[in-house]
Amino acid sequence: MRRAYLAVGALALIAVLAIAGCGGGGSSSSAGPTTSESKSAATSETREPAPAKAASEESAPAAGATKAAVVKVMNTPDLGKVIVDAEGMTMYDFHKDKGTTSACYGACAQAWPPLLTKGMPKASGGAESSLLGVTKRKDGTEQVTYNGHPLYGFVEDRKPGETNGNDVDGFGAEWYALMPNGEEPEDS
């Protein structure tokens, strides 16, 4: 009888984990726009974002971070040296933000996921630790700032070094990559 209870309990646990794994990632099964369509598509506040990254790569604002974020520098083909996250994905600032206060939530944060951290972020590979900071988001998570700018990724950057979000007008303001000194690229 005890084995029957254990078997039922194990099956129930598997079912709960399967349901949890299938829920709430916000990803879509429809194909996103091609890279050439990225900049114009990102300008619509009502546009459904491109498919989300795999759960292990996702930076969902509600989930929060589990460790300190790492910010480093990468040389990109289009913009030269820019600030990137630990995986080499370009980080952007948003001109609608007020100082270190983020203005990007909801659909905006799905298309431009904030770089979250647990505790003080770490600088590596050319990033300036003196320019790193943290700001609290409305949901209580901590977002990384660089030179006073909250940092965001872009869902249309699909591999390290891409800069598809630079000089994009979306969700009410412009988005730009940041150079190691915390400024935007000069051609922006």
Nearest to 59 by CA among 115, 15, 102: 115
- For residue 81, what are the domain limits? 58-188
Give the per-residue pLDDT at 186.
81
Whether residue 144 lies inside any domain: the answer is: yes
Average pLDDT for runs of 10 along the chain of length 188: 38 38 36 39 39 36 78 97 98 98 98 97 97 97 98 98 97 98 84
Give the per-residue pLDDT at 178.
97
Give the per-residue pLDDT at 36.
38
Whether residue 168 lies inside any domain: the answer is: yes
Whether residue 13 lies inside any domain: the answer is: no
Whether residue 2 lies inside any domain: the answer is: no
Residue 85's alpha-carbon distances to 18, 34, 122, 152, 178, in angstroms, are 30, 23, 10, 9, 12
| Other beta carbons less than 10 A from residue 98's beta carbon | 8
Whether residue 165 lies inside any domain: the answer is: yes
Return the structure tokens found at 121: 């972020």
Whether residue 34 lies inside any domain: the answer is: no
Q: Is 95 left (phi over 0), alpha (psi -120 to 50) or beta?
A: alpha
Whether residue 44 lies inside any domain: the answer is: no
| Number of structural domains in the chain | 1
Whether residue 26 lies inside any domain: the answer is: no
